[in-house]
Structures are given as C-alpha cells and as structure tokens.
C-alpha cells in the first residue's frame, strides 16, 4: 500500500515535469515559430522583436531558460499576464474559485443522479427501465455541450423566460445564473457515469454471493443494499474522479457560452490573445488538477477494494 502511494506520487511528479517540458518547448522556443512574433503580433518588426527578446531574456541558451522558468514556477512566480496587465496568479485565483463553485454544484447533482439511474438499470439488466435509461443516456451524451447550451437557451431563456441567458455575475453572485451552465454540464456527463455504474452493478448482480443471498431467501431490498451496492460502487468511484478531467474540458465550452468568469474561459482567452505566461500557468494548473485526481482515484480504488488492501 505504502509503496503504491509512493510510486503513484513519484509518477505524478514525473508527469508534471514532462508536461512542463512539453509546454516550454511548444510555447517558449522557436520550435513552433518565433515567440517574440507570437507575443508582439505579426506586424512587429525585427528591431522590436530583438528588444523584446533582450528584455525578457530570450537570448540565453534554451536549457538555462527552462531551468529558470521551472524554478520561477516552483516558487509561485508565474509571470505577468499581457492581456490583463497584472501578475498571472492574481488573475487566475478568482477564476479558479468561480470554476470550483460551478464544478461543486455540477458534481453535487450529477453524482447522486447518475448513481441512482445506474444502479436502477443495472439491477435488472435488459428490463424496460434499463433500456430506457441507457438509450436516454446515449441521447444526452450525443449532444455536444455547445449544442445543448443552445437548445436549453432556446427553451428556458427565450421560450419560457425562466432563467438568465448569461452568467457573467456582473451584479454580484447570483445562484440563478449558475443553473444553466451546471445543467448543460450535468446533462452531457451523467450518461457516462450512469453507464459505468450500470455495468458494475450488472456484473455484481450475476456474482455467486448475490445469487446465494437471493436463494437463501433474503428480502430483495437487503440483498441490493447490503450485498450488491457495496461492491458495485467501487468502480464508479474511479469513474467519478476521472470525470473531473472531463469537467475541465466541459467548463471551457460552457463558460465561454454563458460568459461565466471562470478558469475555462480564461484558458481560451489566454490562447486566443497569445498570452503565453497565462496560458502556461493555466495549462499547468489544469494538468496538475487532472493528474492529482487520477492519482487519488488510483489510490482510492486500491483502498476501497479489500482484495488489494489486505493482500
């Protein structure tokens, strides 16, 4: 168990270092075009670019620059944002907080919903309820986030006029503005989690000990709650943790659509405005969150599964 945790954390650090190297090579070196031209725009002349390179230390050797860059990153010096004219950390933190709020509500509703639907359809594989839930799940996962945002806007914003169409929170935080973005994310994501839960539940239902419990005459309800659920919910735990990785993609689309001032919209803004320092910091944070949740998912899975825990 301890060796596994150490190994996983070691791999996590290794991944972050490789990712930082990839980001550095892509965004800070001449490998994919002149960084000076990218920052100053294609209409800048060679003299301006040379001055910029000199000022920002781009004339030093690549290896030295990488070490300096990584060192600055490690002590929290993330550089200056060109787009927002300020330190990257000051721009990024409030945005991260906003996305955390959106993510929290999305998960708070999506997880119980998809677990219940998954367990219900996995309990009786092939039943009418099972077929209905799985076809409905395929339908909702087939509609990309931007399309369901358009469709829900047409219904709830322009048609019924129940909800606001933008979530910029310009007049302070308002829960009503959170409903549309969260709904779009939930509708796109719940089908996958429900499907995984269903598969896990269906597998448990065919196992020997569940059959024994049914045959010895236990009430169906207690077979499900006491015997089946505890094992059936181990696999969905991993799936839910990995869903955070998908959520980081989903929030980009949803925050852009509803003008929500979150982390996803910030990544997109940074990339469209060639704000390299901001884009690097955002990408590192996104990968860090993703890798951390994957590591937690792995460790948690091992911990929850007694066959591995006690071996």
Partner 1 sequence: MTTTITEMPTAGYGAALWRGLKSFALLRESWVGMLGAFLVLFWVLVAILAPLLAPFDPNSSIQPFAKPGMEAIKGGGTFWLGTDHIGRDILSRIIWGSRTVLIYAPLATISAYTLGILMGLAAGYRGGWVDDVLSRIADIILSFPVLVLYIIIIATIGASGFNIIIAITFASSPGIMRIVRGLVLDLRNRDYVAAAQTRGESDWRVMLVEILPNARGPLIVDACLRLGYVIITIGVLGFLGLGLPPPDPDWGGMVNETRQMAMAFPHMTLFPCIAISSLILGFNLLADGLREISLRD
Write out the residues near partner 1 by the rule CB under 8 A.
11, 15, 18-19, 23, 26-27, 32-33, 134-135, 138-139, 141-147, 150-151, 153-154, 158, 165, 245-246, 248-250, 252-253, 256-257, 267-268, 271-272, 274, 279, 282-283, 286-287, 290-291, 294
Instruction: Rank residues 204 and 224 by Cβ distance to partner 1 and give the closer one.
Output: 204
Q: How far is the CB of 91 from partner 1 (least distance, A)?
A: 17
Q: How far is the CB of 150 from partner 1 (least distance, A)?
A: 5
Instruction: Rank residues 117 and 224 by Cβ distance to partner 1 and give the closer one.
Output: 117
Q: How far is the CB of 263 from partner 1 (least distance, A)?
A: 10
Instruction: Rank residues 117 and 283 by Cβ distance to partner 1 and give the closer one.
Output: 283
- CA 87/CA 104 separation, integer angstroms: 27
Instruction: Rank residues 132 and 222 by Cβ distance to partner 1 and give the closer one.
Output: 132
Q: How far is the CB of 250 from partner 1 (least distance, A)?
A: 8
Are the beta carbons of 102 and 178 closer than 8 angstroms?
yes
Instruction: Rank residues 73 and 257 by Cβ distance to partner 1 and give the closer one.
Output: 257
Mode of pairing for the β-strands spanning 80-81 and 86-87: antiparallel
Q: How far is the CB of 213 from partner 1 (least distance, A)?
A: 26
Q: How far is the CB of 24 from partner 1 (least distance, A)?
A: 12
Instruction: Rank residues 21 and 225 by Cβ distance to partner 1 and give the closer one.
Output: 21
Q: How far is the CB of 216 from partner 1 (least distance, A)?
A: 30
Instruction: Rank residues 151 and 225 by Cβ distance to partner 1 and give the closer one.
Output: 151
């Amino acid at each position: 168990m301890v060796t596994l945790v150490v190994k996983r954390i070691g791999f996590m650090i290794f991944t972050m270092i490789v990712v930082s190297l990839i980001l550095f090579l892509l965004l800070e070196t001449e490998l994919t075009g002149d960084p000076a031209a990218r920052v100053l725009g294609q209409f800048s002349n060679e003299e301006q670019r040379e001055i910029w390179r000199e000022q920002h230390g781009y004339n030093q050797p690549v290896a030295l620059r990488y070490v300096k860059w990584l060192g600055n990153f490690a002590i929290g010096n993330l550089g200056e944002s060109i787009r927002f004219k300020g330190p990257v950390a000051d721009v990024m933190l409030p945005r991260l907080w906003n996305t955390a709020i959106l993510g929290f509500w999305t998960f708070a509703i999506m997880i119980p919903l998809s677990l219940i639907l998954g367990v219900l359809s996995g309990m009786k594989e092939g039943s009418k309820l099972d077929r209905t839930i799985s076809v409905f799940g395929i339908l909702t996962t087939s509609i990309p986030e931007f399309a369901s945002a358009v469709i829900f806007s047409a219904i709830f914003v322009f048609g019924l006029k129940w909800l606001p169409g933008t979530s910029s929170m310009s007049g302070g935080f308002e829960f009503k503005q959170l409903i549309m973005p969260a709904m779009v994310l939930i509708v796109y994501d719940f089908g996958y989690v429900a499907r995984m839960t269903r598969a896990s539940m269906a597998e448990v239902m065919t196992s020997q000990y569940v059959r024994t419990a049914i045959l010895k005459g236990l009430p169906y309800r207690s077979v499900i709650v006491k015997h089946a659920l505890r094992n059936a919910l181990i696999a969905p735990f991993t799936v839910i943790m990995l869903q955070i990785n998908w959520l980081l993609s989903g929030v980009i689309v949803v925050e852009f659509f509803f003008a929500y001032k979150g982390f996803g919209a910030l990544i997109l803004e940074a990339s469209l405005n060639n704000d390299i320092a901001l884009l690097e910091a955002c990408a590192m944070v996104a990968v860090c969150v993703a890798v951390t949740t994957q590591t937690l998912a792995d460790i948690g899975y091992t911990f929850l599964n007694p066959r591995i825990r006690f071996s």
